[in-house]
């Protein structure tokens, strides 16, 4: 009975510690949102992926603010840019072209949509019992269902993708693969113009990913993230596009940066 009691107390303590860390991580994200909503731009934290430490209660939280325009949105990026990303990530030219066409079918961005019968036949020939929805991605993992996509190719391009960025990523991106893809697309003379009217961000609006690593009592560690749209156009000056947790215990690094660990 004593041993069982000690175990139950330890479990209860861990639950409390995790709850404290979770509340601190979410509180730090709200603090970042409040800061980014400041009408005085000079007082806002830079959106550059650098580490920023804040204290919520007695819990230390490490924040990282990153611009979603640093990555490529596969639902709205141009075929030339997607092909360039696949090329710089290790795919050969033929595979890259084939996958870009398949992604266009999946997200409904193909310039000339293929007949439904042709899509059904192609996916059935690959042993798949579904067809492309012809709509923007709901999750990046959907790309694993695109005909011809392999786990290796997806793993290579996944760190350079976003669901929330504009069709044209920022040329000042700190992601080396995105910069290389932009250069390759430009070298090919195709440019990187995204799908017109799809996920284009107004010039006075920023889409920011906020990631928080909270280190609470009892060695509790929680990673939380939010994607927000900031700008005067929003009813509160901001809107939340996504909010959730990450299973690992470190803040994923921006490409070219080490992860934040303690």
Q: Give the angle 196-202-208 at the CA atoms, nearest 5°.
A: 110
> CB atoms < 10 A from the CB of 156, how many?
17
> Could you give the 3-state DSSP secondary structure of residue 162?
coil
Q: Which pLDDT does position 262 carry in this prediction? A: 27
Q: Which pLDDT does position 197 carry in this prediction? A: 47
Contact 232/34 with Cβ under 8 angstroms?
no
Query: What is the C-alpha end-to-end distance of the chain, expressed in Å?
Result: 37
Total count of residues recorded for the chain: 262
Contact 253/231 with Cβ under 8 angstroms?
no
In the structure encoding, which two tokens stand for residue 56, read together?
């919520």
- Residue where the block lists tokens 């204290």: 55
Residues 6+ apart with CB under 8 A from 80: 185, 188, 190, 191, 192
Q: Which pLDDT does position 46 carry in this prediction? A: 93
In the structure encoding, which two tokens stand for residue 187, read together?
């070298």
d(CA 188, CA 85): 13
Q: Which pLDDT does position 252 carry in this prediction? A: 44
In the structure encoding, which two tokens stand for residue 197, read together?
């009217």
Q: Which pLDDT does position 152 carry in this prediction? A: 97
d(CA 144, CA 157): 11
Local confidence pLDDT in tens for the 262 residues of the chain:
666 666 665 655 567 788 999 999 999 999 999 999 888 889 999 999 999 999 998 899 999 999 999 999 999 999 999 999 999 999 999 999 999 999 999 999 998 999 999 999 999 999 999 999 999 999 999 999 999 999 999 999 999 999 999 888 999 998 999 999 999 999 977 655 555 444 455 556 789 999 999 987 778 899 999 999 987 655 677 899 999 986 543 444 444 444 443 2
Q: Which pLDDT does position 250 carry in this prediction? A: 43
**Could you give all domains of the chain from N- to C-terminal order, each with its CATH number?**
2-70+201-246 (3.30.1300), 79-187 (1.10.40)
d(CA 21, CA 14): 11
């Amino acid at each position: 009975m004593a041993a069982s009691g000690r175990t139950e107390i330890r479990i209860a303590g861990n639950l409390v510690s995790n709850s404290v860390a979770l509340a601190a991580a979410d509180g730090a994200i709200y603090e970042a949102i409040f800061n980014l909503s400041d009408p005085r731009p000079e007082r806002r934290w830079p959106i550059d992926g650098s580490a920023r430490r804040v204290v919520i209660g007695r819990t230390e939280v490490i924040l990282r603010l990153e611009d979603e325009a640093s990555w490529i949105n596969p639902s709205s990026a141009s075929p030339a840019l997607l092909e360039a990303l696949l090329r710089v990530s290790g795919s050969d030219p033929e595979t890259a072209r084939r996958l870009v066409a398949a992604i266009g079918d999946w997200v409904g961005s193909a310039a000339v949509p293929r007949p439904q019968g042709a899509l059904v036949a192609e996916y059935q020939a690959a042993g798949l019992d579904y067809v492309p929805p012809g709509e923007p991605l709901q999750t990046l993992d959907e790309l694993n269902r695109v005909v011809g996509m392999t786990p290796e190719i997806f793993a290579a391009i996944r760190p350079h993708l976003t669901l929330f960025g504009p069709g044209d990523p920022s040329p000042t991106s700190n992601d080396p693969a995105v910069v290389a893809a932009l250069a390759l697309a430009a070298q090919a003379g195709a440019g990187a113009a995204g799908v017109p009217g799809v996920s284009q961000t107004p010039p006075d609006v920023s889409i920011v990913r906020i990631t928080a690593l909270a280190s609470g009592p009892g060695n509790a560690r929680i990673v939380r993230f939010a994607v927000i749209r900031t700008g005067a156009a929003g009813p509160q000056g901001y809107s939340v596009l996504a909010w959730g947790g990450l299973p690992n215990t470190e803040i994923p690094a921006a490409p070219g940066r080490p992860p934040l660990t303690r």
